[in-house]
Amino acid sequence: MIERLQKYLSGAGVDSRRKCEELILQGQVWVNNTIVTKLGTKIDPQKDTVEVKGKLIKYKEKKYYSYILLNKPKGYLTSLSDPFGRPIVLDLLKDIKERVYPIGRLDFNSEGLLILTNDGELTHALTHPSKEVEKVYIVKVKGIPSSEKLKTLSKGVTLKSNYKISPCNIYLLKITNGNAILKMKIREGKKRQIRKMSEYIGHFVLKLRRTQLGPISLKGVKPGEYRYLNKEEIKSLKKII
């Protein structure tokens, strides 16, 4: 079956589709002993020879995918490795034999819902801006932002260095010990977006937890624990592709 090179690579478990596209553009992918740098190049996995960084990528007739829901605790990197030896989310999946990758990321001091999979096509869909997949966060900020400030954020703002934030939904859930607990629903996934939004209105984030990604909820999974997604959950995610 003819398919695009980056889709084949992600499906073979090389990395997420976006990372595979970067490998192609960097000239690290060979097809039939020839470097390929053009995205969208089509191949026949049963006939063509594909190599990444000199390693042969073998064609597999059928790929079995794994989908894991992790409640990431604070103090773990959403990364496959760390040169400084800091804890990574894969350290929490010691009983998982499959090689899986995080969909998106939560920074070191953030916690909550993280999906890991070896399904490159799904990873691409859930992280691509055009899909506008909703993400829900519970955010504790220092102090109590006024309704005017929250309204300003919800309409969309432009931060420093032309960092544009699209309109979103923000709700004040409660006030505790002089600090506010907010629920924020966004359809973007920019780096440190929630923290930068909060800083924009003068209220620094004290705690950040993601509770939902698309149709998938964190409910029932304790910090540091994980489970496989069930068939209905996987089906609901596939609708996004």
Out of 15, 95, 107, 119, which one is annotated catalytic?
107
How distant, in Å, are the alpha carbons of 51, 122, 157 from that of 131? 30, 11, 21
Active site residue 107: yes
User: Which stretch of DSSP H or E encloses residue 179?
Assistant: strand 179-186
- 8 A C-beta contact, residue 81 and residue 213: no
How distant, in Å, are the alpha carbons of 49, 73, 213 from that of 189? 35, 19, 11
Mapped onto helix, strand or coil, the DSSP state of residue 224 is coil
CA-angle at 115, arms to 85 and 14, nearest 5°: 70
DSSP, res 88: B
Polymer length in residues for the chain: 241
Whole-number Å distance between alpha carbons of 227 and 212: 15
- The catalytic residues are 107
